[in-house]
Structure 1
């Protein structure tokens, strides 16, 4: 049985818990009141003879302990109790109380406290909870305060990065406000085993996912926080009895721009999601910004067909009610140690209503304006100004902190980290930052401390960055920006600050750091001078690669960067030099870079001539490595581009064999993709041709029309009728099992009992200080 310390409940939550437990234990109908009304009354029971027959005072005091509790009860509450003159007075507190301490309080409140049993401490609340198990269910956040449960959850995160991640989000759980989204998300996850959480930036996608992860972990699921699908492939168990749940935050952030350029990474996501669907005791939660998902769906057939696109797997986070907004705000104030002066500023003249009704309200902004490290130095007036400015200008929420609260080298550190989109190994980051510091020393005459890297991490940790250990034995850490809004701010900062942008490009060490300047993303403009800088760094070989397969990929990255990033400058000689030495035996590793060059090379006559002179060698190796239909149908264009006749090539004996093999392989692969995408949704064998093989025939015919017109050949089906009959039986069983899981999914929000107060009164009650 879990033992709760009640640390995840705010004072109002504890009062509601006390109300439910005392009514159950004492078989009364205790009433709750607006906080502070009739001084000293949190709950009461009335009789015809005495309106205040039983008075209950609920005191959290978990952080301040018994001494503070005793002092406040004696000096503040005793005179109120004497005025109320109850027949019976009960004290409820989350503080652990000894027999001696209970007796002390009984003496202070004699004759109103009849027995020490009416002084209810931590151990008594836990005893009642063991007796009334249904009340545990109603108070959802309660079990988050169980040290045994949380310890078990952390221990179930067997991978170091995930363990570090769970330790960090543990502190965020008390801030969570239960909404209907939790029940809806749980329902989808149990039914489908897949959950896609979408919404605008800052709306609470990550928080909802984190609560779901903890809820699953309570049932002994091992949690895996992943940045890449390959990470999950490495650890997914073949043991169907092993419970695993994977979480991929901002999952399209990893591959979105590669999807736009025709990469295959979306296949990895779709394939892994399919494995989850077909393996017992495995779940996956993904989240993404709505706009990113919509653009990816429009661009990618694989995303469009995959289960991650389908609406039935998706929960869309939209707006919150005013009461939910108020609860989120209150929890942030209560649990984030805001000093009293700032809390008073929010309460004064009901300023909290301005916050919760503001059009820019998001949980992320509330998190920002209640960060004690950021605001506790403000006085009351400064704090109100800070809140108003950030609500009116949400795009600037990081502006003050970035420009005023950290020093120059810390800003350099953040900008360097920003260039590694999803974070990076601290060893790589250290090298990149050292390159920036070297630039500052040589060109800006800055004095650099040898410990600047460690100093900046200490200064920025939690407020601006996160650091997660992924391998405890080797002390390997991943460092990343604290959330996407900081990345959005830095993008805006660089757009408006040419010198900062130029310094960044001049000081980068790794070619991957250029990715946020990718013109395809249309985020940050690269002026001609900056393109010259990039060209020069490639020419002088001062750029390295952080990729673990850099010996195969680096030259491919360089040729694409020169064509894509340096359109306003002459890169012909440098490009030719790389093409001359590139190892075509490694063409699989840089085939997409080469494809980009084929399509986009301009004003590079020497390089174009080199490709043309060596076209037969290059194209034959390239064709062998094509893995998708879109790349295949570009072949005739590439032949024409470099003055070769594709039809003659396709009519030749060797060429025809290559093209037929290519079409055959792509159709087989397409069949596998289509079967994988749809096999578990088919319940009638008559659906197979309509859903899968008509589509497959269209793809085959498209390839033939583009590459071998007037050619007819059949490709056998690899999923036969017997296979389908077995699969349909599995699908029927799985549908029943999904319905069963859905019915058994926990429902927390629906079990809450709300009183009949109107919303505005509830909000005022929340912020009324007793």
Structure 2
């Protein structure tokens, strides 16, 4: 049975009108509320006269309240005296409750079937699938609910994503941007959503994910880098990948070869019938990254969707405000104020969906100026919003928690934030602060500056609003003393990667990109930065990924390959920004790790290849590390990634390996076992096929091609079962005149009675 709680009263009436139009085979008009109470829906009746319908959105109310509201409509119906009357509600009615409502309107109803409850609406939606396609919001909300219920293990693992999607759906307003994005996904399988901060990129992306769930796609959220997507990629199942702020939240900052890996993944998804890839980024960051990274520039620009404020008509802007207010916990006084002065918000030049979301949440609750005045003040001075809240409303412990979180990876674990916050508190001179104080500080700012969810079996935390990240990171960069304390108090290597983005001198590429503040003395901080690198490089990582654990499948855990990645990152820093004795010492540690078969083989191969090509290291040290890695690569060839790493290493040293008959035979036997083990294709499938071709194993290549065709065939079958969206068209914009919008916002005055 469908759940209609994601809809506002207006959206429910529009859906009811569309369903009744299909069911009655005649146009059903839908009216905004005005002085003629009692008419939400109207249609022509055979033989003359009008049929009238009334909608009551009482799904989360009681039947007593619903019946009381229905009784108040009797006088209106008597005055109208329609030829037919229908009473529509989202409430889940019993047979007895239907009879009670029918008794009120018996004179104008043909029978109890003229009382349409939640079950009846749900049946009509199932019957009229073309109507469902034209109302994607109710379909997406129910599809997401059902998918999470049917996959509890994934719902638990990705509860943070589940919560964000569930929260976003009721407030989303379907607009022209949605139809363009959906068309891109249907045609290209990839959609890059770009736009200015606060324009609604993330909410659109989350809505598209919810829709994909309804089509049977498994969600994968990428919070660190694209390797998470590669690790979670499964040839044998539909998957939708979400990569929010994939180029960084403030300016682009990609690790080495990340552009190549993203480009490769995009090509992989674009060639698949059972994958979707949704990325978001700020428009100016995308333009800078395309200019700087050749591989990103090669991506098909037909995959880009640039959202702009012009995509939101005045009616769209009003609906966004209305939806947020309808689903908010604001008191009736505040709602009434908006009904009287909505133009000051809808027509404000600083309007953005993000600020609407913020101002209709708990942030503006409390006493002071009236609600609309406080709302407009935020639109006038958005920077003041966080500055005032941060400086005047937070304790020092709470400030430390927010600052620490702004330097950590997205969706970091709560325990890692506690560690980083406590370390920063100590560095700031708060000697009496204990771990429990930091935990309490996180609890206090949850819901305003940060949100807590769950990934896997671990609680995770993220900045609640990207504009908070902007504010805090700008505060750090423009305050040399605070930057020094963050460096000295850094508990994790990943914090230093963020700090390096602040420290390196770089002029802005375009308006909006941040330059190094002219007053910041970077040289004074160099020794602190290198000391912090030396202190944290061997410490536990604040990043988590889905990784293949040979005996236990895919688990969300700290990655074993971060050390190799950290070394590569540090070695690429400019001279003077890492300890002078590092290269020799670090590679001695790597040689020991690889000798004891510790680390990630693929990362190790890439690092050693780069070291041999670029880094000035003693020949004997490099040779020792290479021997240990080569011995490790030759053993434990149990998984596809083991073979890929081994052959990548051989390929980097020349082509003689292709003629090794023993190696060719071992490889063919291994891949054939993997084809029997995995259905339809094993991990690292393209790499396995590449090396089958390199070995000249034509029979194995045919087997791999057959498996690939099987995978594509299964994907096509799944695709054919999906509800087609080819006929979806953007709706004609609703009337934007003030009389219509005033009727819309007047509904808020009655909200709270269940309607």
CA drift of 1:549 comes to 4.6
Which residue of structure 2 lines up, in the alignment, with residue 429 of structure 1? 417
Within 5 Å, give how 1:536-575 maps onto structure 2.
Answer: 541=535, 545-547=539-541, 548-549=560-561, 563=575, 575=579
Match of 1:336, SS state, is: coil
1 CA distance for matches of 2:344 and 2:399?
32
Structure 1: unaligned runs, 5 residues or longer: 566-570, 601-610, 625-660, 669-716
2 CA distance for matches of 1:66 and 1:222?
37
Question: Which of residues 332, 338, 348 is equivalent to 2:330?
Answer: 338
Match of 1:253, SS state, is: coil
Q: Give the structure-2-normalised TM-score.
A: 0.72
Cα–Cα, structure 1 residues 104 and 278, in superposed 2: closer, same or farther, change >3 Å? closer
Which residue of structure 1 lines up, in the alignment, with residue 550 of structure 2? none
Which residue of structure 1 lines up, in the alignment, with residue 132 of structure 2? 136
2 CA distance for matches of 1:185 and 1:234?
26
CA-to-partner distance for each residue in 1:674-694, whole Å, 9 max, x for gaps? xxxxxxxxxxxxxxxxxxxxx
Question: Which of residues 156, 162, 165 is equivalent to 2:161?
Answer: 165
Which residue of structure 1 lines up, in the alignment, with residue 344 of structure 2? 354
Match of 1:451, SS state, is: helix
Which residue of structure 1 lines up, in the alignment, with residue 491 of structure 2? 509
CA drift of 1:466 comes to 3.4
Question: Which of residues 305, 308, 332 is equivalent to 1:315?
Answer: 305
Which residue of structure 2 lines up, in the alignment, with residue 71 of structure 1? 68
Greater shift, 338-347 or 452-461, is seen at: 452-461
Which residue of structure 1 lines up, in the alignment, with residue 52 of structure 2? 55
The answer to whether the 8 A contact 1:254-1:422 is kept is: no
The answer to whether the 8 A contact 1:417-1:481 is kept is: yes
Cα–Cα, structure 1 residues 49 and 424, in superposed 2: closer, same or farther, change >3 Å? closer
Cα–Cα, structure 1 residues 392 and 748, in superposed 2: closer, same or farther, change >3 Å? farther
Match of 1:58, SS state, is: strand
Which residue of structure 2 lines up, in the alignment, with residue 638 of structure 1? none
2 CA distance for matches of 1:209 and 1:366?
18
The answer to whether the 8 A contact 1:336-1:370 is kept is: yes
1 CA distance for matches of 2:56 and 2:333?
21
2 CA distance for matches of 1:385 and 1:535?
49
Cα–Cα, structure 1 residues 50 and 499, in superposed 2: closer, same or farther, change >3 Å? farther
Greater shift, 29-38 or 328-337, is seen at: 29-38
Cα–Cα, structure 1 residues 503 and 19, in superposed 2: closer, same or farther, change >3 Å? same
1 CA distance for matches of 2:124 and 2:619?
81
Which residue of structure 2 lines up, in the alignment, with residue 466 of structure 1? 451
CA drift of 1:437 comes to 3.6
Cα–Cα, structure 1 residues 90 and 416, in superposed 2: closer, same or farther, change >3 Å? same
1 CA distance for matches of 2:467 and 2:250?
19
Question: Which of residues 368, 371, 393 is equivalent to 1:383?
Answer: 371
Within 5 Å, give how 1:684-703 maps onto structure 2.
Answer: none
Cα–Cα, structure 1 residues 105 and 495, in superposed 2: closer, same or farther, change >3 Å? same
Cα–Cα, structure 1 residues 193 and 405, in superposed 2: closer, same or farther, change >3 Å? same
Which residue of structure 1 lines up, in the alignment, with residue 207 of structure 2? 211
Structure 2: unaligned runs, 5 residues or longer: 507-513, 542-559, 592-602, 628-650, 659-693, 751-755
Q: Does 1:290 align with 2:283?
A: yes
Which residue of structure 1 lines up, in the alignment, with residue 463 of structure 2? 481
Between Structure 1 and Structure 2, how many residues are aligned?
636
Which residue of structure 2 lines up, in the alignment, with residue 41 of structure 1? 39
CA drift of 1:560 comes to 6.8
The answer to whether the 8 A contact 1:138-1:752 is kept is: no
CA drift of 1:11 comes to 0.3
Cα–Cα, structure 1 residues 43 and 556, in superposed 2: closer, same or farther, change >3 Å? closer
CA drift of 1:80 comes to 3.6
Pick 1 or 2: higher relative contact order, CA cutoff 8 A, min separation 6. Answer: 2
Which residue of structure 2 lines up, in the alignment, with residue 629 of structure 1? none
Question: Which of residues 253, 259, 262 is equivalent to 1:269?
Answer: 262
CA-to-partner distance for each residue in 1:179-208, whole Å, 9 max, x for gaps? 222332222222222222222222222222
Cα–Cα, structure 1 residues 221 and 750, in superposed 2: closer, same or farther, change >3 Å? closer
Within 5 Å, give how 1:77-116 maps onto structure 2.
Answer: 77-86=73-82, 88-109=84-105, 111=107, 115-116=111-112
Cα–Cα, structure 1 residues 79 and 253, in superposed 2: closer, same or farther, change >3 Å? same
Q: Give the structure-1-normalised TM-score.
A: 0.71
CA drift of 1:251 comes to 1.8
CA drift of 1:158 comes to 5.6
